[in-house]
Amino acid sequence: EAQVTQNPRYLITVTGKKLTVTCSQNMNHEYMSWYRQDPGLGLRQIYYSMNVEVTDKGDVPEGYKVSRKEKRNFPLILESPSPNQTSLYFCASSSAHPPYEQYFGPGTRLTVT
Amino acid sequence: GQNIDQPTEMTATEGAIVQINCTYQTSGFNGLFWYQQHAGEAPTFLSYNVLDGLEEKGRFSSFLSRSKGYSYLLLKELQMKDSASYLCAVRSISGGYNKLIFGAGTRLAVHP
């Protein structure tokens, strides 16, 4: 089954404690992205990757890091989480060819206290 | 700049037809998507338009006018399970990358 998986699904942590949210896709997609979703703001792109070892900033990259060492994995790293990073996070992948449909992971609800 | 506008909320009656509009301003336009998102869940793909006109897929249709920067999603024979948020997203070419920009979404409530 084609899917994007994320872990953990829910996380409550404290300010400053480093965390990683994993993302994996089994569709051999070139493109992968991380989004955060906040009420009234919609989905905002944090980082994206066009292929292995190729990553770039999206609209809201501050406080986040990513890596793409393998095609299937695209982890999101919060080196020093702060309360303003409390949000719902989605990983997504898509093919580099039309129609470029994005497949989303189930989401990770993060609370930073 | 890049901007996508869609109504915040809409209500409709089961069995009826509803049209959700989306207007956009973007450079390097390369297609428009509609996604459905139920509360607390991931968005799921509904439609993709890159050329002007109407794309029909079952009860759902999507229309695009590139010259007007306008799209709509038409939902027919509404069912209670259609209560969800509908996200308009524009694909634009930026720095060689096809970037996807989302609107804030339209929350649709279907009532009996």
Angle (CA) A110-A21-B42 rounded to 5° is 65
Which is higher by pLDDT, A97 or B12?
A: B12
Pick from A50, A49, A76: which is nearest to A63 by CA?
A76
Cβ pairs A/B, distance under 8 A? 54
CB neighbour burial string for B79-112, b if at least 16 within 10 angstroms, e if fewer: eeebbbbbbbbbbbeeeeebbbbbbbbbbbebee
In chain B, the percentage of residues whose pLDDT exceeds 90 is 81
**Biggest CA pair distance of chain A:** 42
Q: Report pLDDT digits (tens) over A43-68.
A: 999 999 999 999 999 889 999 999 99
pLDDT exceeds 80 at position A31: yes
pLDDT exceeds 90 at position B40: no
Show residues of chain B in contact with A40, CB under 8 Å: 104
CB proximity B91 to A under 8 Å: yes
Strand A108-112 to A87-94 pairing: antiparallel
Q: Residue A31: helix, strand or coil by DSSP?
A: strand
Show residues of chain A in contact with B3, CB under 8 Å: none
Q: How far apart are CA A24 and CA A73, in angstroms?
A: 4
DSSP state of A53: T
The H or E element containing residue B48 is strand B44-49
Show residues of chain A in contact with B102, CB under 8 Å: 35, 42-44
In chain B, the percentage of residues whose pLDDT exceeds 70 is 96
